Structure 1
């Protein structure tokens, strides 16, 4: 058995940059999934494509007998945003960009696949999960609905995400909450439109929207325990097309984030109550829906501690961070952790933060991610 990965750095970097140059958004990752599946098959790895739409799963059975089955997951989708950086491998698709590093995550897991295709001298099974549509929060559930758990019967599952706010060569993992839940808030306000000179003849949805935006800020400031963490932000307002016309409809969208399911439920209930109140006072009809929702990403203690031990060997114990604030970002990897033990960890890479228009994955940390995943798979398959 070897914990030292067999890594072709040039091949890994070329794969990452090819994926970066050809980004695809949620459930449109056809080229990416075909590339992944083709590589797995070329390396003589059992390959299952089309899981959850564009998901791909590779399975490597160890040659040293029975052991545990460990799943490792990478996300593949890009963001619907324009790249403003100018790397030689910049996006070839207008308005689509790997601004969160999923190109690097996919390349790292391909590096792990390449290693295990050459070194099967271990007991157990490694399941390589290439997931679509993380950014929209639907990819994990799509793969689960397509039988990911029942078909591959993994005992534990792990994921690794780049962390620009950590220095390259560092690793972070927490016991318990790592990331917040996320609910997209979609609010529709229907009133009665009319001339701007005669507002008394209308039921003004713009005025209702203004009152609602202000009132919603009290969800966190006046309804949630100050010792708890919650964030509510309204990100878009759409209403009207002319300065002298009161429109009949206004639409708002926003995001709600929390680390505790009780707080999350309390905030959602309060949002609905406020919408009902503003509907009464404005005499408008107000609807509210929560979409693209993901629960908080909560690591299982045993698996988080195991990941930290392995990381200590790979990164050096002094470079393993175990005491930092959970992030308000969200991840649908949380759906996997609701069903199986596992952990979500961070790989330091430096640079600008995720979703910045000049973001680029740091290729120097690719081999570190491969080393960690290979060592983790060996440790947990044999546990």
Structure 2
């Protein structure tokens, strides 16, 4: 199916221009109005039925194949950007200060648009494809909101699939695994409170910076001593706030520390939250202070079904050699709200290589110098088309393995 990539590469200049336009005009979660309008306009231009406004700015395109069949699948791309100041110096760099497509969602949207156009021109499949363009993946739960607003009631499907670029993985290589592939995402915070006082006479104060300092050090003991070594888990501190820089001689009465937790199993997630709370409260009491603890479960772990992985791997393998598709890709402790869609319907989430420079370097996602690789556009679009062909190829064979 290399000819499929070549056919889609004929649109490279046009598709790259779409990607550059999206990159130059990034929009934060639930604010993707310009992006959504562009997506909806392109889909309609290609004769695809369009629904707008799901989860505010979400767009769903629906295309029926010319062959008879009742099966339906969904393909999902995300549209939102990040609050990062771009430092790429590219001619199409972000025109919005402090906002940047630093995760490649501009590329994800473009690849799915390319696939939608090809399938609209070549609807040689049985059943229905829904193209989901999701808002607010970056921490705001746009996927959850789409599900809650009836995504799969309005657009019934038997399976749903996602795709994400992976910097550091060679261009055109694919990675996937059955079971948990991306982590549970939790957010926690601890506020230590004491009386505070004058820094010259600390014995007259109860100093909340003491339990805070001990807590940050002890926190890693949860991972090293409470989590089984065979499990993967992370507890990281991301923010510490106390006092006023203009008054370094004042012991603050309140100190706040917050961070993130990552895990793959419900049991490990429970241990992390419980032990974090116990440590904070016990250390606070030991120093004559109090601790207010919040441990919030955000995104669930992303869990691929075995059948979904088999279908996705077959679709990717049809585009490349078998060794270019790693079906035992290591789990990643990043989160992804496509997990909410996989909680509702079976399917799989695939990674595709964004490439590596000749010297072996690359810029990872969520960094100011990252950029999506335009050479990936026809590859990713071809993967989506191949997936539809494997899932809905004909009335007789559609969905075998799904």
Q: What is the deviation of 1:208? A: 2.2
In structure 1, runs of 5+ residues without a counterpart are: none
Check the 8 A contact 2:29/2:140 in 1, yes or no. no
Candidates 315, 324, 333, aligned match of 2:329: 324
Candidates 28, 32, 37, aligned match of 1:29: 32
Q: Deviations over 1:187-220 (max 9, x none)?
A: 2223323222232333322222112111211110
Check the 8 A contact 1:101/1:360 in 2, yes or no. yes
Instruction: Confirm or deny that 1:367 pairs with 2:378.
Output: yes
Instruction: Confirm or deny that 1:88 pairs with 2:63.
Output: no
Q: Within 5 A, what are the aligned runs for 1:115-130?
A: 115-130=118-133
Instruction: Confirm or deny that 1:303 pairs with 2:296.
Output: no
Instruction: Confirm or deny that 1:71 pairs with 2:82.
Output: no
Q: What is the deviation of 1:28? A: 1.7
Change over 3 Å in CA distance of 1:74–1:25 after alignment to 2: same
Instruction: Confirm or deny that 1:195 pairs with 2:198.
Output: yes
Matched residue, 1:181: 184
Instruction: Confirm or deny that 1:358 pairs with 2:361.
Output: no
Candidates 344, 357, 362, aligned match of 2:349: 344
Q: Within 5 A, what are the aligned runs for 1:143-162?
A: 143-162=146-165
Residue correspondences, number: 381
Q: Within 5 A, what are the aligned runs for 1:92-103?
A: 92-103=95-106
Q: Within 5 A, what are the aligned runs for 1:208-287?
A: 208-241=211-244, 242-287=247-292
Q: What is the deviation of 1:137? A: 4.5
Check the 8 A contact 1:159/1:343 in 2, yes or no. yes
Q: What is the deviation of 1:348? A: 0.6
TM-score (norm 2): 0.91
Other structure's SS at 1:73 match = strand
Other structure's SS at 1:159 match = strand
Instruction: Confirm or deny that 1:315 pairs with 2:310.
Output: no
Q: Within 5 A, what are the aligned runs for 1:50-69?
A: 50-69=53-72
Instruction: Confirm or deny that 1:377 pairs with 2:382.
Output: no
Q: How far apart are the structure 1 equivalents of 2:349 and 2:149?
A: 22
Aligned CA-pair RMSD: 1.7
Matched residue, 1:142: 145
Q: Deviations over 1:288-323 (max 9, x none)?
A: 223471111111001101111111111221211123
Check the 8 A contact 1:137/1:294 in 2, yes or no. no
Q: How far apart are the structure 1 equivalents of 2:126 and 2:101?
A: 36
In structure 2, runs of 5+ residues without a counterpart are: 356-361, 393-397
Check the 8 A contact 2:208/2:284 in 1, yes or no. no
Q: How far apart are the structure 2 equivalents of 1:144 and 1:131?
A: 11
Q: How far apart are the structure 2 equivalents of 1:133 and 1:202?
A: 45
Other structure's SS at 2:83 match = coil
TM-score (norm 1): 0.95
Q: What is the deviation of 1:186? A: 2.2
